[in-house]
Amino acid sequence: MQDKVRTPDLGGRASTAEFAAPWLSGLGPSHPCARCGTDTAGIAIGGICANCMRSLTRRATRIARLVAIGTTVPLAVYVALACPVERTARLVGR
């Protein structure tokens, strides 16, 4: 598909890459990171830079791991106490 941006008397046709905004390439205007305040190119207003995102992801992973352990341990204790002592009852589930 050809773009008809310019008229033939002004030099013919132009491509859309010629008019593309510079920030679409990721190198555009820099905005301060919402967490650390460093100016970073390519992030949205109120966005978080790559370093802060990495540290937040690490922290969230740590918290999620603790929550998973914290919910698994009580469930294991409940199952151990709720199941009867007899072996056949454990296999059948009664």
pLDDT string in tens for the chain (94-residue length): 444 555 555 555 555 555 545 545 555 688 899 999 899 888 888 999 999 999 999 999 999 999 999 999 999 999 888 877 776 666 666 5
Q: What is the pLDDT of residue 33?
A: 92
For residue 40, give its domain range: 1-48
Express the helix, strand and coil content of the chain in percent, nearest 5 each: 55, 5, 40
- Residue 38 included in any domain: yes
The tally of domains found in the chain comes to 1
Dist. CA 31–CA 65, nearest whole Å? 33
Q: Within a domain: residue 25?
A: yes
**Is 62 inside a domain boundary?**
no
Q: What does the alpha-carbon distance between residue 16 and residue 1 come to, in Å, rounded to a whole number?
A: 11
90 in any annotated domain: no
Whether 24 contacts 41, CB under 8 Å: no
What pTM did the predictor assign?
A: 0.54
